[in-house]
Amino acid sequence: MLSGMAPLTGKTIALTAERRADEFATLLERRGARTVHVPAIHVLPLVDDSDLREKTEGIIANPPELVVISTGIGFRGWLDAAGTWDSRDALLSALGNSRIIARGPKARGAIRGAGLREVWSPATEASQEVADHLESEGIAGVDVAVQLHGTITEWEPTIHLSDALERLGAEVRAIPVYRWIRPLDQQPLIDLLAKILNHEVDAVTFTSAPAVASLLSTAKDNGLLDEFLTALRGPVAAICVGPVTSAPLDALDVPTRMPERARLGSLAKYVVDVLRCE
């Protein structure tokens, strides 16, 4: 690289996130990159979800002993939905009477951002680590509310935390506050796959396991899965925000790379470190 040249000059990076994509793109473009943004998932708003409202009212009326928050976006969405029902303060008050576990740094940040504190958080974002911790504490008979992680797909080698806790004897209230779908218009993802297969991008970035699962499903549906995996095992770097995000690719023997901290700023800096050496 010539002296004074931005470190990502000449590099093209694909972004698959729906949220904060503009912020992420700006961080990369300031370093000289060209970005291609194709959201791989769409998160559904739950403001009008009658089931969520009913379960929220139940938590306010009878706070559980323990609450497990699985995702930052899900927790914030839950609070936003409660706000539209004029129940946000009551929900926060109820949660403040419960012990809270955060499944990873994003969930922890959302909890603290709402003025609450968690009693424990795993070193990783793995649901299994949460289940193991609660098993060691003794969870049988405990009233637990679990904010669901979202849809579990064929690509995600993860446990369904609410099911795991039920098997351990907990009395589980499942709270579905985060749901996602694949884009209805699949053509942009198909076009992105073509760019990856033709090595027109230097890296693909992922900030959630559902985004990975969505792109894998699109590749499979279009008979491109083997070629897609070959590209990611070769010249196109798969860069993930953390180990939960990378898990579907890890299970397929795709080499993945990630920063030490699961943060967007850390991910942008890490992309520079990876690509400036190639």
With respect to residue 34, please indicate whether it lies within any of the assigned structural domains: yes
Q: Quick one: CA dihedral 66, 69, 74, 80, positive or negative?
A: positive
Q: What is the pLDDT of residue 158?
A: 59
Q: What's the CATH code of the domain at 257? A: 3.40.50.10090
Q: What is the pLDDT of residue 19?
A: 85
Q: What is the pLDDT of residue 47?
A: 66
- Scanning the structure block, which residue is given the tokens 């979800």? 49
Q: What is the pLDDT of residue 73?
A: 82
**Same-domain status, 172 and 48:** yes
**Same-domain status, 28 and 68:** no
**Same-domain status, 18 and 95:** no
Q: Domains in the chain: how many in total?
A: 2
The number of residues making up the chain comes to 278
With respect to residue 6, please indicate whether it lies within any of the assigned structural domains: no
Angle of helix 264-275 relative to helix 21-29, nearest 10 degrees? 40
Q: For 3-18, how does the pLDDT look when each residue is reduced to its tens digit (9 = 90+)?
A: 568 899 999 999 999 9
Residue 163: partners with Cβ closer than 8 Å, 6 or more residues away: none
**Same-domain status, 114 and 172:** yes
Q: What is the pTM of this model?
A: 0.74
Q: What is the pLDDT of residue 95?
A: 98
**Same-domain status, 144 and 202:** no
**Same-domain status, 20 and 127:** no
Distance CA 127, CA 132 (A): 9
Cβ 146 vs Cβ 174: under 8 Å: yes
Q: What is the pLDDT of residue 157?
A: 58
With respect to residue 130, please indicate whether it lies within any of the assigned structural domains: yes
Distance CA 36, CA 210 (A): 19
Most distant CA pair in the chain, distance: 64
Distance CA 87, CA 217 (A): 38
Where residue 170 falls (left for φ over 0; alpha for ψ -120 to 50; beta otherwise) is beta
Q: In terms of residue numbers, what domain contains 233?
A: 12-41+182-275
Q: For 25-60, how does the pLDDT look when each residue is reduced to its tens digit (9 = 90+)?
A: 999 999 999 999 999 998 876 766 788 999 999 999
With respect to residue 56, please indicate whether it lies within any of the assigned structural domains: yes
Low-confidence ranges of the chain (pLDDT < 70): 1-4, 45, 47-48, 150-152, 156-159, 178, 277-278
- What backbone phi and psi angles, to 5 degrees, belong to 52? -65, -40
Across the chain, mean pLDDT equals 92
**Same-domain status, 159 and 54:** yes
